[in-house]
Amino acid sequence: MATPKPCVPEKHYMITTDFGHLKKMIDDERYFVLHAPRQTGKTTLMLQLTEKLNQEGKYIALYVNVEAAQPLRNNIEAINELIISEFESNARIYLEKKFQPQEECFQIRSMSNGINEFLTRWCLELPKPLVVFMDEVDSLIGDGLISVLRQLRSGYTKRPRAFPHALCLIGLRDVRDYRIYSDASKRYIVGGSAFNIKEKSIRLADFTLAQVQELYAQHTEATGQTFTEEALQKIYELTQGQPWLVNALGRELCFEEQAIAIEQPVTETNVDNAAEILIKRRDVHLDQLADKLTEPRVAKIIEAILIGENQGELQDEEVRFDWNENRQYLVDLGLVRSGKRGLEIANPIYREIIPRELTAYQQDMLGIEPQWYIKPSGKLDIDKVLEAYIAFYKEHSELITNRKTYTEAAHHLLFMAWLQRIVNSGGHISREYAAGLGRLDLCIEFAGERFALELKRSSKTALTQGKQQLADYLNRLSLPNGWLIIFHRGKVTNWDAVGKREFVTEAGKQIEVIWL
């Protein structure tokens, strides 16, 4: 099912696409942006539309990918020359000879304005309007990107006779959100000002549940293998329709070494197991996601989500501006979304990957023998786990104070690393966290038992709010008791108070409070 390259209808399962809205924009001579995270189907969609337009015959349509110009950075003439060669090459491959640019098109007077001149000359000799789909524009950098956008903008008034009738820029982000640093002018240029002819931005949506069902039904029709309704619901729940994840789960379930036998139906349990395999194996897409976590602007938002605090509510205007800009960057990358409880990780698979990735090094360094914490009955000894962590933290607090990144979430991450190292021996941790939620909720599932824990940072209201929040969480899980762990902010001055444990009751639930 999954493919890192554009899909081919004859080789891959594909959902039905309605081009009506896009074709209307083209008929209206619109210049627009199509953006979405990587491997969500942008290129496949545009190649299909390009082919369809050429078959219908009203327009001459061409797709070009300009990513190869990225290493040229601010060398505007070299960027123009490379992009023009991409137009020439693709035109030779995909267009009839009579529509290909002639020699006159390449007699460019100024290579600093080469793309504009090339498109002008080509459109003047074409018998029909030209439609251009330009992919990976946002891979360009600095003055090179500014130059390309301004050349397209300056030719806009010449359309459709002497410039493309319609044009679509394709990339990860909306061009209006670009802040491009110009080495020439020593300042930031807003992408919207460099390409203010853009009339509309379209974000390619994730799959709906119905589309997930349609996609998997094609496999059933082709092979006879069925999926339970619960399995399809689970696939959608875990991926939230993110196309790469939907396809990757399908590949794992149906085609890889541990694929389900074709005569057996795929169940919800099978889906959970396949998701865990993806998370542990860190396929290319998930590995790229993990790499993004090291970017400072990404870390700022993810850290706030992990600890449940929304820095965007701060009064400092500069901080708020950075927050909003960084937030939009992560939304465009497909890392986060606005959920019912606030800004949250885009889907449960990403939600599981992020804390595991951020704690991978700590897990490897922790000298824990998971079997120490397993009772003779095979059950998890949660009291022993917590008591051992308290002792460990008192001895190794430098793992908190010396952390260079995600410092505000250091307590949360070290504690999760400890739990993950133990639970990996035969259990699972479910996590709930979102900016503004005020805490991070954990549910350990091990040998048929569940343990609910809530992590909060210390404040005047941490205990009062934490008890209420944990009681609500316990109600949702139908559990009678849980653990509220409150982490100290700042330098510890009284180590005797660290690890203090006390029992309280809230809304009929027994809660053990641990102060760290």
Q: Spell out the domain ranges in the chain.
A: 20-203, 209-281, 288-515
Evaluate whether the domain defined by 20-203 bears CATH number 3.40.50.720: no
Q: Which residues contact 399 (CB under 8 A, 6 or more apart)?
A: 362, 410, 414
CA 89 to chain centre: 33
Residue 481 has pLDDT above 80, yes or no: yes
Evaluate whether the domain defined by 209-281 bears CATH number 1.10.8: yes
CA-closest candidate to residue 413, choices 438, 393, 427: 393
Q: Which residues contact 186 (CB under 8 A, 6 or more apart)?
A: none
Residue 39 has pLDDT above 90, yes or no: no
Residue 313 has pLDDT above 50, yes or no: no
pTM for the full predicted model: 0.79
Quickly state the pLDDT bin for 299 (edges 50, 70, 90).
Answer: very high
CA-closest candidate to residue 356, choices 404, 289, 304, 407: 289
Residue 10 has pLDDT above 60, yes or no: no
CB 268 within 8 A of CB 373: no
Task: Give the C-alpha separation, 114 to 275, whole Å.
Answer: 48
Q: Could you tell me what percent of the chain has a pLDDT over 90?
A: 61
CB atoms within 10 A of CB 151: 21
CA 182 to chain centre: 28
pLDDT tens-digit series, residues 337-368 = 988 878 999 999 999 999 988 988 788 778 78
CB 368 within 8 A of CB 391: no
pLDDT tens-digit series, residues 423-433 = 888 899 999 99
At residue 90, what is the residue type? N
CA-closest candidate to residue 270, choices 230, 311, 317: 230
Q: Could you tell me what percent of the chain has a pLDDT over 70?
A: 90
CB 135 within 8 A of CB 63: yes
Angle at which helices 268-281 and 243-254 pack, to 10 degrees? 110
Q: Is 58 helix (H, G, I), strand (E, B) or coil?
A: coil
CA-closest candidate to residue 27, choices 64, 65, 5, 58: 58
CB atoms within 10 A of CB 167: 24
Residue 286's DSSP bridge partners are none
